[in-house]
Amino acid sequence: AQSVTQLGSHVSVSEGALVLLRCNYSSSVPPYLFWYVQYPNQGLQLLLKYTTGATLVKGINGFEAEFKKSETSFHLTKPSAHMSDAAEYFCAVSDLRGNEKLTFGTGTRLTIIP
């Protein structure tokens, strides 16, 4: 069975500061890993994904994440936070059997302090 743990249900950073949202996963098979963002009253938008290949993946809006197998982590970072980054962020791991069932973490609400 797969699982995802997101450390910190709420994270606050100052505008312009580094954003770091933590995600650790558990999977019995090589995982596909995802970060989704949910803005207020909106659906889930894919930020970035790791499937195979380069372990540092870049996504939209300046976000990136690094897959570290030895640490079973997939932390999301952005060098400089912007007010528009305020949202809920979900880490997810997929089932590789092809039916694309995602297991989500509990989410991290990011607040940007002006």
The residues of the shown chain that bind other proteins, judged by CB under 8 A, are 32, 34, 36, 42-46, 49, 51, 90, 92, 94-107
For the record, the structure tokens of 63 come out as 């976000």
User: Judged by CB, which is closer to other proteins: 81, or 90?
Assistant: 90
Query: Using CA atoms, how far apart are residues 53 and 82, in angstroms rounded to an integer?
Result: 29
State which amino acid sits at residue 102.
L
User: Judged by CB, which is closer to other proteins: 32, or 67?
Assistant: 32
In order, the DSSP letters of 6-24 are -S-SEEEEETTSPEEE--E
User: Judged by CB, which is closer to other proteins: 80, or 106?
Assistant: 106
Q: How far is the CB of 98 from other proteins (least distance, A)?
A: 4
